[in-house]
Structure 1
């Protein structure tokens, strides 16, 4: 039996990850408190993971949860506890489909998602199933129901760490619609012309979950959203930015922040410090590791990236990254960063080497990382 969800829960958030709880939901909560917006969030658990289901059930009953911000930002120590009250309810898609579909059709205005590494996988899925197994399949079925009811197009703001995430999601949804709703050209036209698919880039380290629901996060945060005509955002916040082009933000994050993580892991392993150091903050406090990181960023990475981006923005972001990595309260495990190391080297480091080579810049330390990564294939 479908239950009633508050009509103001017009932001449909697919995913119960601690990241979304400490990032998007926190922005929406602050926007509500400041009187900048009036939209709340309906959280939807899309996978079969029991941990996610447990969090969705908790959000359906308690409606608020704690967010603990700890660290430094702009040279200032921050240790703050916030109560996040932007979530109006929680649903489990596999168990509450009728409720989700009705609310999506009648009240949704925005879709936000962060469905993990396999979130865009659609193998062997069908939108014609009672409840599709994949996130894109579920989304396509919901959009079809909304269109059939005469609903307006939505704004989709995916937060998955995928290049051009909204355009990729749009391709998947339109492809599923063409296959499973063949002949419904009006629906395809509606998806492509009436829905707004906005690429986004997110940046915040949310290091731990709180029980039964909540998160511990660093003070730094960014939600950059690529602007387009007619785009409306679900909230207003200093860390939510409309930008004309996501490329500079994506390059800085991937090739400064993410590259620095991967370089630290390489030197941590190379020095045989796996049993002595556990966290990024400990690596930053180890003089030899920090000096190596500082040297490679200043002499190899920034000169290479400066062939495409403004040097002063790179240097400012470098300083922010080092401040964030040194956060004494953040238990960011080097062993977690070390997972899929070879693949991360290819994405984070090899493009910088290629940029440098085309500009005649030598990158011996980066090349050393790539050579060593072959041992982790």
Structure 2
């Protein structure tokens, strides 16, 4: 077979170029199929006229694929939209360059000098927006994303320039507020002047936001088929569903500054995103997190595999109907309608959403997506939610690391390794880790014993999902 050329501007020379207006922390699958795809939609309609500059946020590893492809990549949309089948491939050219602060820190700080750069977006995973007291202003660079951002903002302030609209996309509650809180903490640690604190509050807008689009990522196993279809090879190709929702909690002026909705995109700017967030995080992300360890331990590979397994799909539907929906403060009919749509999206045969890709940083995901439901369920009903508790047991069991490849922060894996050093004491030890859960979970009546029982069932392959339907 004749080899095909790599995607580049020689292949698609008509991709328009625009000046940089957006600083984008993170260039992973989700950001390419969500943020960058939307930037291009606005640019094609003459509404924005701006591209993104990528910043590598929390990893020293050099990513050469962007430069090798002239910062172009293909977004493949597959699924059903408005009753119609969607199967599209679009070359996205809304990224101009990638800056690696670990190798070119001064270039990174110089982004603050550009007045056209007025919007900052990020997706550094749930583990990215964390406070690291060991980070310092004179580090080149500070290790944590919030510390890097603080250094950039301080440079902008020192130049006497206006601030940014900052919209984090990490799936943590009140992400914008949390990010601002950590930035201010770093400013205190670094003893930055009071003028900077005032500038942070008056010249910058930190928005909380919610993102919703299933992005399985690179179509593994279909590389040759894809290359033949496209006429070129693309190592950054990313698949996604057509559905998209972005809820931004912030002032109305954002609609003009960032005219996403004008471009026909499903973007909501609101003064209160709480209802949208609770619905999405608990009814879409929650089932994702629950299915991953159980599915992987059962030898399943994708979300579609889970949904095509009668026992698993019934288990998930029961969890949604009996444990998730009753704990949410929204109209039941609305929640049921949204949940039904979520299950249909999970069954999308055109999307190969691998469980292992969803498993990244599963501990912080469980804390954000399912633990609040578990705690409320216990508080209001005086008993454990059986299906969420089983999913929790499977998650803890999977972090033993002998049957599933763990994908998490080194510090999290260290906590588990130390707890597993004494298997007989693993459960009480891991439940006591308030740094992981925010509370000592040993205080929940019956949780430790229930988890012990489930883990024994998992160890002996004696678990029967039909018991939980």
- Specify if TM > 0.5: yes
How many residues align? The count is 362
Query: How far apart are the structure 1 equivalents of 2:18 and 2:142?
Result: 25
Relative to structure 1, the CA distance from residue 15 to residue 349 in structure 2 (aligned partners, 3 Å threshold; closer, same or farther) is: closer
What pairs with 1:331-370 in structure 2 (closer than 5 Å)?
A: 331-337=352-358, 344-345=365-366, 347-356=368-377, 365-366=386-387, 369=390
What pairs with 1:152-301 in structure 2 (closer than 5 Å)?
A: 152-182=162-192, 184-209=193-218, 211-228=234-251, 230-231=253-254, 233-237=257-261, 238-265=265-292, 268=295, 274-275=298-299, 277-301=300-324
Given the two structures, how large is their TM-score scaled by the length of structure 1? Answer: 0.85
User: Equivalent residue for 1:309?
Assistant: 330
Alpha-carbon displacement from aligned partner over 1:158-187 (angstroms, at most 9, x marks no partner): 1112211111111111221222243x1111
Relative to structure 1, the CA distance from residue 152 to residue 266 in structure 2 (aligned partners, 3 Å threshold; closer, same or farther) is: closer
3-state SS in 2 of match to 1:281: helix
Query: How far apart are the structure 2 equivalents of 1:69 and 1:173?
Result: 36
Query: How far apart are the structure 1 equivalents of 2:388 and 2:218?
Result: 36
Relative to structure 1, the CA distance from residue 208 to residue 265 in structure 2 (aligned partners, 3 Å threshold; closer, same or farther) is: closer
Ranges in structure 1 where 5+ consecutive residues have no aligned partner: 1-5
How far 1:263 moved relative to its partner?
A: 3.9
Contact 2:293 2:395 survives alignment (8 Å): no
Q: Which has the higher contact order (CA 8 A, sep 6+)?
A: 1
How far 1:338 moved relative to its partner?
A: 5.4
Relative to structure 1, the CA distance from residue 91 to residue 267 in structure 2 (aligned partners, 3 Å threshold; closer, same or farther) is: closer
User: Equivalent residue for 1:3?
Assistant: none
Alpha-carbon displacement from aligned partner over 1:78-100 (angstroms, at most 9, x marks no partner): 11111212112222222333333
Query: How far apart are the structure 1 equivalents of 2:48 and 2:36?
Result: 13
Relative to structure 1, the CA distance from residue 127 to residue 283 in structure 2 (aligned partners, 3 Å threshold; closer, same or farther) is: same
User: What value does the CA root-mean-square deviation take over the aligned residues?
Assistant: 2.9
3-state SS in 2 of match to 1:67: strand
Q: Which of 122, 125, 129 is the matching residue for 1:120?
A: 129
Query: How far apart are the structure 1 equivalents of 2:96 and 2:214?
Result: 25
User: Equivalent residue for 1:66?
Assistant: 74
Query: How far apart are the structure 1 equivalents of 2:48 and 2:154?
Result: 28
Query: How far apart are the structure 2 equivalents of 1:197 and 1:110?
Result: 10
Alpha-carbon displacement from aligned partner over 1:57-105 (angstroms, at most 9, x marks no partner): 34xx613221111122344321111121211222222233333333322
Q: Which of 142, 153, 160 is the matching residue for 1:150?
A: 160
Query: How far apart are the structure 2 equivalents of 1:48 and 1:349?
Result: 28
Relative to structure 1, the CA distance from residue 362 to residue 118 in structure 2 (aligned partners, 3 Å threshold; closer, same or farther) is: closer
Bigger-Rg structure (1/2): 2
Given the two structures, how large is their TM-score scaled by the length of structure 2? Answer: 0.69
Relative to structure 1, the CA distance from residue 116 to residue 258 in structure 2 (aligned partners, 3 Å threshold; closer, same or farther) is: closer
Alpha-carbon displacement from aligned partner over 1:268-325 (angstroms, at most 9, x marks no partner): 47xx7x23x32110221122322232233234432332xx102232122112211111
How far 1:234 moved relative to its partner?
A: 2.7
Relative to structure 1, the CA distance from residue 154 to residue 249 in structure 2 (aligned partners, 3 Å threshold; closer, same or farther) is: same
